[in-house]
Chain A
Amino acid sequence: MDGSGNSLASGPDGTKRKVCYFYDPEIGNYYYGQGHPMKPHRIRMTHALLAHYGLLQHMQVYKPNPARERDLCRFHADDYVAFLRSITPETQQDQMRALKRFNVGEDCPVFDGLYSFCQTYAGGSVGGAVKLNHGHDIAINWAGGLHHAKKCEASGFCYVNDIVLAILELLKKHERVLYVDVDIHHGDGVEEAFYTTDRVMTVSFHKFGDYFPGTGDIRDIGYGKGKYYSLNVPLDDGIDDESYHFLFKPIMEKVMEVFRPGAVILQCGADSLSGDRLGCFNLSIRGHAECVRYMRSFNVPLLLVGGGGYTIRNVARCWCYETGVALGVEVDDKMPVHEYYEYFGPDYTLHVAPSNMENKNSRPMLEEIRSKLLDNLSKLRHAPSVQLQDCPPDTEFPEAGEDQEDMDERNDPDSDAEMEDLKHAEETPRKYMSSNMQSVKVKKENFENEPNNQESHKAGPEQAKGFDPMAEDVPPMKASDKASMAVDDPHKASSKT
């Protein structure tokens, strides 16, 4: 036994799990700036909803300890972390070169409390990983999941990569860790961090083609020892639940079968939901949460983190529902009245129907993607066994001596170096293969809630009646105010300039 254990302490019944949840009450007050789509307030909205649904009360809830500078430096470059620590909105003018170098200032603005924000969300994710290492079944940190951050630079609203830090923590206890990313954007920061190792497999489902961050090509499969340990599932606009799971389930089943991770991190970016402000997918909350349900069913320790999500009331809906899924509780559609109830009008329901937008993912295309990815996965069949006792060779640079020149250059899949690596990758398993190398079929639950069985949710009956503007605490708005706030008309908006 490797000690990592693929079945959970809570037993195999598939419903009950020991779930812990990380929340810092300060998180909602961090503010990226006027008009910035990233709003940490959504974490607070989720928290309020969870409390009123009675879900919080059934978890162990922790306030994370902030990650320290040296903790962040386990992945990030020292100078980058020192920069994040020192920069403030007042001093940024004096550090223009550093801002540019670390890609801070535009998408990733300097705001009040930036560093403590990073410490908080990173602390939650690493805390979650430690909990899993200590035998918890599921840990949740909705403030985490900032998957774009790179070793030496910020990117796509992300400064510190809490996922990479959490994976490094999990790697202390588990030989192999799986990362799954259902954010609409490619999980480039995590992929890059583990691109050359076979101890971490990254799988990202994302919109590809003229879309941020531009990486995530199906042909990016990893490099060196990490070849075939990066999986990219490129998708097009308007994907619905059925198309999504046509890929998600078979691919994840195969990944679990051949990679056999000791722990899984699932990044639950909610910008892949229908109606997201920056997204273009058409997933329902049930479809999105089906990813959680499916990954949970493998009985492997699971860390759920947040990520993108820019229509904030849908983010709160989604992560609340997914917390319920983690607990094995089906959450009512009719929301309890709570602090942020008014955000959810006029229906005040948890689920919203997806739109009728066109699904640009044709079946032949999905089939081609699926078969290509399953084919790549079949090349992993002979992953090193869990019985492996030997320490594998240095994971940094398999061919360090020979490829000195190529070290810091971008890799070229057609280069000789790549061929060498391929050879290496093929040899390794043979060298370390143990006698009982049979791939273990991962135990899985049956699924009752297929996404295509969903009923669509209609508008509730409790439409607002008897609105009395005079009852407001603030003076009633005039119709003209309302018009200026109605933002669907670009002409209106631009005519204001």
Chain B
Amino acid sequence: MAELSNPFDLPALESLLLPFPLLEAELRSLFNQIAATEDADLSGLINRCIRQIRRRKARCPDLKNKVETLVLELLMTSRLQAPSSVEVDRKRRKSDDYLRNMLTLLKGVATDPCDDRAGEARDWEGHVMRARKWLFVKPDESAGAEDFPYKKLKRHNYHSELSQGISSKIINIPKRRSQRLLDLEKFGEILSTEPSVRIPIGKHAQADVPCWVCPLERHSCSEEDLHESRWLGTTVWPVKETNSEINLDTVGKGRLDCCSCVSPGSVECVKLHVSTSRLCLKAELGPVFHDWCFEQMGEVVSRTWTRKEQVKFDEIVKHNSDSVGMNFWEAALKHFITKSRKDISSYFFNVYVLRRFRVYTRLKSEAAESDVDDVGSRFVKDITDSVEQHSKSYEKRYLKRSS
């Protein structure tokens, strides 16, 4: 069996896959299987591995392509570099030779179908047969050469047809694959014929659905009613039971564009309008403003942090971004011993991320529109999702990397 530890491109894998230890094990076993098999058609194995990965792992836009590319790349490397077993290697080289010869010939025919080099005609067919044999039949299986299925196929003598003067017909053969077929191929992904992941059936999977009993026939059960009432929660709004009609004139209204600030749209301008708007809301909601914890929303959260603490927090996030394998969260918890996890999460989303967005917006950076804590995230590396760049960035999305 070929030695496969070398060809592993570890950094590439790490950036590619999120929960690394498990996936690494799976991929290693996949590669071992690849190394052990003579079968050059690996799609079955790859699909199986992907299915395993997919069942457990998260949402990764093009996991299959990534893994497939990686596997092919590694395969090529291992074929070139891994002569651990002389026997296997000899066979490989032989099959590679057959393949190479066949491909050279095919290339020649493709570039100039009319160039019938008579001498090569028989040889060409032989090459193909040998290559097919090496690709699809394991040595022990093909021992009974009489039963080799492809031998029984009727030979279509392409070269003799050519020499009989029908070359023009062949040249004018229309494109072999119609748009319809291409479309059908695309369906392959969605309407494929290969069996899908099965849905488990049994007590361990399905919910207990009781028989339907019409409520009119149901004996009223006070315990159930009691149980039901506890689900209703606490009414927060409206404060008093009012029967007010929805006033379509004020509901759903956005901002007015007039503003008497010196520089409309500036940081100070926005801050001013946020606080006015909050005051209005507070007046409207009364005590419910506190019930909904509006005093813990937005930049006002920074009031409970000293300026020094805020500067330190920024530094910690900057120096412990996930992209360098650091965890700002733990570092922040360690540093701010008086702050709880909740305090830190609240400050992060209400103040830190908000300020980052503010700066991005003002710098008019193309990359502004991203969730700031996504920087170097183990889930998605490239998360620029500005509208303009969406299609581009979509192509570039990465899978999760391990931490």
Q: Which of B254, B348, B385, B403 sits near A53, CB closer than 8 Å?
A: B254
Q: Which of B267, B365, B379 sits near A472, CB closer than 8 Å?
A: B267
A466 located at the interface, meaning its Cβ lies under 8 Å from any Cβ of chain B in the complex: yes
The answer to whether A467 touches B362 (Cβ under 8 A) is yes
The answer to whether B61 touches A332 (Cβ under 8 A) is no
Return chain B residues, CB-CB under 8 Å to A466. Answer: 262-263, 265-266
A61 located at the interface, meaning its Cβ lies under 8 Å from any Cβ of chain B in the complex: yes
Q: Kindly provide the distance from the CB of A265 to the nearest chain B CB, expressed in whole angstroms.
A: 14
Q: Kindly provide the distance from the CB of A330 to the nearest chain B CB, expressed in whole angstroms.
A: 6
The answer to whether B292 touches A164 (Cβ under 8 A) is no
Closest A residue to B343 by beta carbon equals: A29
Q: Which 3 A-B pairs have the closest CB atoms?
A: A339-B298, A332-B254, A345-B361
Of residues 308 through 348 on chain B, the ones whose CB sits less than 8 Å from some CB of chain A are 310-311, 314, 318, 321-325, 327-329, 341-342, 345-346, 348
Apart from A192-B200, A194-B209, A482-B365, 9 more pairs, CB < 8 Å: A60-B237, A75-B208, A197-B209, A310-B371, A329-B252, A337-B276, A462-B265, A467-B362, A494-B15
Closest B residue to A330 by beta carbon equals: B252
Of residues 463 through 497 on chain A, the ones whose CB sits less than 8 Å from some CB of chain B are 463-469, 471-475, 477, 481-482, 484-490, 493-494, 496-497
Q: Which of B205, B257, B292, B324 sits near A195, CB closer than 8 Å?
A: B205
Q: How far is the CA of A103 from the CA of B58 in the complex (A)?
A: 12
Q: Which of B270, B355, B368 sits near A474, CB closer than 8 Å?
A: B355
Return chain A residues, CB-CB under 8 Å to B382. Answer: 487-490, 493
The answer to whether A151 touches B251 (Cβ under 8 A) is no
The answer to whether A220 touches B232 (Cβ under 8 A) is no
B63 located at the interface, meaning its Cβ lies under 8 Å from any Cβ of chain A in the complex: yes
Q: Kindly provide the distance from the CB of A119 to the nearest chain B CB, expressed in whole angstroms.
A: 12
* A391 with B211, Cβ < 8 A, contacts A35-B379, A276-B385, A462-B264 known: yes
- Count of chain B residues with Cβ under 8 Å from any Cβ of A? 157
Return chain A residues, CB-CB under 8 Å to B235. Answer: 60-62
Q: Which of B203, B381, B387 sits near A493, CB closer than 8 Å?
A: B381
The answer to whether A44 touches B297 (Cβ under 8 A) is yes
The answer to whether B246 touches A329 (Cβ under 8 A) is yes
Of residues 348 through 374 on chain A, the ones whose CB sits less than 8 Å from some CB of chain B are 348, 350, 352-358, 360, 362, 364-365, 368-369
A64 located at the interface, meaning its Cβ lies under 8 Å from any Cβ of chain B in the complex: yes
The answer to whether B384 touches A327 (Cβ under 8 A) is no
Q: How far is the CA of A48 from the CA of B292 in the complex (A)?
A: 9
**Interface stretch among A167-175, A241-249, A291-299, A423-431?**
A167-175
A260 located at the interface, meaning its Cβ lies under 8 Å from any Cβ of chain B in the complex: no
A401 located at the interface, meaning its Cβ lies under 8 Å from any Cβ of chain B in the complex: no
Of residues 33 through 71 on chain A, the ones whose CB sits less than 8 Å from some CB of chain B are 33-37, 39, 41, 44, 47-48, 51-65
Q: How far is the CA of A335 from the CA of B277 in the complex (A)?
A: 12
Q: Kindly provide the distance from the CB of A2 to the nearest chain B CB, expressed in whole angstroms.
A: 6
Q: Kindly provide the distance from the CB of B36 to the nearest chain A CB, expressed in whole angstroms.
A: 26
25 sampled A-B residue pairs with Cβ under 8 A: A35-B322, A44-B297, A51-B285, A56-B237, A58-B251, A77-B204, A123-B233, A192-B206, A193-B206, A208-B189, A213-B55, A214-B55, A312-B371, A327-B252, A335-B254, A339-B299, A345-B362, A355-B394, A364-B183, A412-B198, A468-B267, A471-B268, A485-B367, A486-B365, A487-B375
Of residues 217 through 249 on chain B, the ones whose CB sits less than 8 Å from some CB of chain A are 228, 230-238, 246-248
Closest A residue to B200 by beta carbon equals: A410
Closest B residue to A408 by beta carbon equals: B202
Q: Which of A275, A310, A487 sits near B376, CB closer than 8 Å?
A: A487
**Interface stretch among A20-28, A251-259, A375-383, A441-449?**
A20-28
Q: Which of B62, B197, B238, B310 sits near A215, CB closer than 8 Å?
A: B197
B378 located at the interface, meaning its Cβ lies under 8 Å from any Cβ of chain A in the complex: yes
Q: Which of A103, A151, A324 sits near B206, CB closer than 8 Å?
A: A151
The answer to whether B233 touches A63 (Cβ under 8 A) is yes
Closest A residue to B313 by beta carbon equals: A474
Q: How far is the CA of A234 from the CA of B255 in the complex (A)?
A: 40
B278 located at the interface, meaning its Cβ lies under 8 Å from any Cβ of chain A in the complex: yes
The answer to whether B281 touches A52 (Cβ under 8 A) is yes
Q: Kindly provide the distance from the CB of A11 to the nearest chain B CB, expressed in whole angstroms.
A: 13
A117 located at the interface, meaning its Cβ lies under 8 Å from any Cβ of chain B in the complex: no
A278 located at the interface, meaning its Cβ lies under 8 Å from any Cβ of chain B in the complex: yes
Return chain A residues, CB-CB under 8 Å to B377. Answer: 34-37
Q: Which of B208, B318, B349, B378 sits near A396, CB closer than 8 Å?
A: B208
B373 located at the interface, meaning its Cβ lies under 8 Å from any Cβ of chain A in the complex: yes
Q: How far is the CA of A462 from the CA of B379 in the complex (A)?
A: 33
The answer to whether A236 touches B57 (Cβ under 8 A) is no
The answer to whether A389 touches B238 (Cβ under 8 A) is no
